[in-house]
Structure 1
Amino acid sequence: MLTRKQLSTGDKIFDAANVIGMLVLCFVTLYPIWYVLVNSLNDGQDAMRGGIYWLPRKFSLDNYEAVFANAGIMTAMGVTAAKTVIGVVCHVFFTAMVAYAFSRRELIGRKFYMMMGTVTLFFGGGLIPTFLLIRDLGLLDKFAVYIIPSLFSFFDLIIFLAFFREIPDGLEEAARIDGANDLAIFVRIIIPVSMPVVATIALFHGVWQWNDYFTGMIYINNPDLQPIQTFLYRVVAQSSSNQIVASVGPGINRTVTSQSIKLATMVVTTLPIVFVYPFLQKYFVKGLMIGSIKG
């Protein structure tokens, strides 16, 4: 390996350019998040003056008190948490089960199924046919609309399939000798040894479920069933940026602005998934490498 002194001038310039480029990219990526956080921690009326870029000028938690005092926001948070947890469990189990069947060489018509699944990666039915299908299935204004249509993903199946093909056949043969059937092998052997790819798909789908606002906007009219992202979308779409809100909830008489409430709501909805991601990142990277190399 070349030491720093052995590098040519061109290599040093290239390395310096890479470092500067990455620093600029990190700043461009992270600063908007910092800007939202700083302004959400500032007094709403004071923030209307502008000029807050790095630190709060007049620190205040009134915006967050207003957010948590709103019963609609808390209900939406509960819906989002429930659909994320239930959706991830159901999606991972169902997709893994189908992928395990695809990994069996004795599956009749496997090549045809793979071809049909590949087509779905490039072509979709469109919004109107999908809406009509959801309506005919009786899923409009039902919590199940967050779960059933997203049970399966062929892209996730490819990642599962690549991992399952790396599992030694001896594990399954030993289980069959002990009398285990396919379901028992899948639940007791395949899933436990596949935790890296399970965590990867769980993170994929969990982030999607948490950030999904479109499903609640199109298929849900009941305000008690809308997720937090749909709630935030409607707040951003309907309120003006400098509107002053004098009454934010029972027992809270402080004055905040709609803009400051929007920023605080954005922070509250983003932080949970941000905290979860670092714990699953190593599995996420490993799973992606498996899917890209072996798929």
Structure 2
Amino acid sequence: MLKLFKRNRRTTSEYLFDNLNVLIMIFICFITLYPIWYVLVNSLNEGLDAMKGGIYWWPRDFTLDNYKAVFANDGILTSYGVTIAKTLIGTVLHVFFTAMVAYALSRKDLRGRNIYMIIGVITMFFSGGLIPQFLLYRELGLLDSFFVYIIPALFSFFDLIIFVSFFRALPTSLEEAAKIDGASDMKIFLKVVIPLSMPVIATIALFHGVYQWNDYFAGVIFVNNPDLQPIQTYLYKIIAESSSNQMMTNAPGGVASKTVTSQSIKLATMVVTTLPIVIVYPFLQKYFVKGMLIGSIKG
């Protein structure tokens, strides 16, 4: 008993090591979360007062005028609708098409499977460039179209690799039993493979959903119609082109322009555009970890 007690007792070096790890993790969490908190606090403070500085932990002169000015502009509500639509539609279609191609490439009886995989790997490292991409979208009629957010993002070879690794680990006896019952390949995919693949589907949906929500580049390069630009492009224009001054002119009557500055508008817009995905992401974090392990353990 005494030997067991001595064996379980931690040494001084182990105690110091554990506490050092805790301190390091606390520091990493602080430097990661504090910038978000700083932006939130300053967005809730009166604009002119915030310009004096010294606001680090709590609003010094609390106000919601900044957010009233943001939502007084119809553009941000339209951009929100575009972002929500392209995130939902794009994620569902991306998961379906990528899973369908991955299921075909996971079949050992597919002719030319290795060639397709090699071609796909090459596309992960090499691309034609932005100008050929722009010209291609123009010829396809995708410029200034909502489908520019959907069609080019239907397929990702990186996500396909994760799907293929998962599909190869599924028992082949299930597919054989379904074939004996007369099921076609598409029916097997929809009725057997998809229900068994919900963990990897949730993982890829998380990956692509976050990408669709955060993507601003497509709206900047390929869309000129302000009614089709997503919220991240809207935020980009506010910061890069100082369009927040125009937003201040659209502030409601109860918001005095002298209390709302361009900087406070920028901070409030940043919170409005990033807060939804920041709230949702921690609840889906377990699927993110599971998705990272699928390729390494089952692959």
CA distance in 2, matches of 1:275, 1:292: 28
Aligned length: 294
Following superposition of structure 1 onto structure 2, how do residues 78-97 of structure 1 map, counting pairs within 5 Å?
78-97=81-100
Matching of residue 274 in structure 1 with residue 287 in structure 2: no
Deviation at 1:246, TM superposition (A): 5.4
Following superposition of structure 1 onto structure 2, how do residues 1-295 of structure 1 map, counting pairs within 5 Å?
6-239=9-242, 247-255=249-257, 256-295=260-299
Q: Percent of counterpart pairs with the same letter?
A: 69
Scaled by the length of structure 2, what TM-score is found?
Answer: 0.93
CA distance in 2, matches of 1:2, 1:267: 52
Q: Is the 8 A contact 1:103 1:164 kept in 2?
A: yes
CA distance in 2, matches of 1:3, 1:247: 73
Q: Is the 8 A contact 2:73 2:247 kept in 1?
A: no
Question: Matched residue of 1:271: which SS?
Answer: helix
Unaligned runs of 5+ in 1: none
CA distance in 1, matches of 2:205, 2:197: 12
Scaled by the length of structure 1, what TM-score is found?
Answer: 0.94
Deviation at 1:133, TM superposition (A): 1.4
Change (3 A) 1:259 1:35: same
Q: Is the 8 A contact 2:69 2:247 kept in 1?
A: no
What value does the CA root-mean-square deviation take over the aligned residues? 2.1
CA distance in 1, matches of 2:265, 2:69: 7
CA distance in 2, matches of 1:49, 1:253: 20
Change (3 A) 1:56 1:3: farther
Unaligned runs of 5+ in 2: none
Which structure has the highest helix share of the two?
2
Q: Is the 8 A contact 2:166 2:295 kept in 1?
A: yes
Deviation at 1:250, TM superposition (A): 4.5
Q: Is the 8 A contact 1:163 1:197 kept in 2?
A: yes
1:116-170 CA-partner distances (Å, limit 9, x unpaired): 1111222222111211211121111111100111111111001011111111112
Question: Matched residue of 1:121: which SS?
Answer: helix
CA distance in 2, matches of 1:245, 1:195: 43
Instruction: Output the amino acid matched with 1:113.
Output: Y
